[in-house]
């Protein structure tokens, strides 16, 4: 690696001497490179204000799959329970109407 760097420096010095003829400044005379801002930060808008502007909560439709699956299972069990109870009450009503 050191040999490659040395060869590249020799080639660059030769090119500068023959082609470019630029004065190479000493390292001590170069100014220190300061920091530069690469981006300008922009604050995220207030979610309450944003919600009022678009009319619904910003991430309302993003529900984790596990929650969606649990809600689906709950809904199925609730429907099953309601159907069983409704069938039992319908049967009880039919029996009571037969004997009245």
Rounded to whole angstroms, the Cα distance separating 38 from 21 reads: 34
- The pLDDT tens digits for 24-37 are 889 899 999 999 88
Residue segments in the chain with a per-residue pLDDT below the cut of 70: 45, 47-60
Q: CA separation (Å) from 99 to 62, 64, 66, 91?
A: 55, 53, 50, 13
CB burial of 4-24 (b: ≥16 within 10 Å; e: otherwise) equals eeeeeeeeeeeeeeeeeeeee
Domain range list for the chain: 2-27+43-98
Rounded to whole angstroms, the Cα distance separating 9 from 26 reads: 15
Mean pLDDT for all residues in the chain: 86
């Amino acid at each position: 690696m050191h040999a490659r760097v040395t060869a590249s420096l020799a080639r660059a010095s030769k090119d500068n001497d023959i082609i470019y003829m630029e004065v190479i400044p000493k390292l001590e005379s170069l100014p220190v490179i300061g920091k530069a801002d690469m981006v300008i930060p922009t604050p995220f808008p207030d979610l309450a204000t944003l919600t009022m502007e678009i009319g619904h909560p910003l991430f309302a439709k993003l529900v984790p799959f596990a929650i969606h699956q649990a809600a689906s299972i709950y809904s199925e069990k609730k429907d099953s329970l309601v159907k069983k109870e409704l069938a039992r009450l319908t049967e009880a009503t039919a029996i009571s109407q037969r004997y009245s």
